[in-house]
Amino acid sequence: MKFKDPNNNEYTIEFRRPDARRHGWCSGFYYYPEDGKGTIQVDPDMSKQMILNTVVHEMAHAFFDDATETETTQFANAVSKVLYNNLQFRSDDLQSIVK
C-alpha cells in the first residue's frame, strides 16, 4: 500500500512488526521520509480494529507532523472508531451503509 502526503512524499505501508530492539514494543511505527520516501510499519498480529487504528495513527503523523503524540492518538482513536463501528467495517457490510 502506498500514499502521498501534502508535500508529495511517498509512503509505503508494510504489515510487519516494528523492530522492538530499536523502538521498544509498539503496534506501528512511522519512519520520516528520506529523499521523498517514507515507511510505516504496522504489526499484522492484532485485531482488525487495532490495525485500522494503527494505520490511521501512523498516517496522521505523515500529514500532521507538528501534532503531538497525544493529539495524533486522539485523532486516530476518533477516526478509527467512526470507521470501524459506525460504518461497520468489522462486518464487511460497508456497501449497504453507503447506498
Residue of 56, 84, 55, 47 lying closest to 94 (CA atoms): 84
pLDDT at residue 98 above 50? Answer: no
Q: What are phi and psi of 60, to 5 degrees?
A: -60, -35
Q: Are 80 and 48 in contact (CB under 8 A)?
A: no
Q: How far apart are CA 39 and CA 74, in angstroms?
A: 22
Boundaries of every domain in the chain: 2-98
| Cell numbers linked to 7 | 508535500
Which tens digits make up the pLDDT trace of 34-72?
999 999 999 999 988 899 999 999 999 999 989 999 999
Which tens digits make up the pLDDT trace of 10-25?
999 999 888 877 767 7
pLDDT at residue 91 above 50? Answer: yes
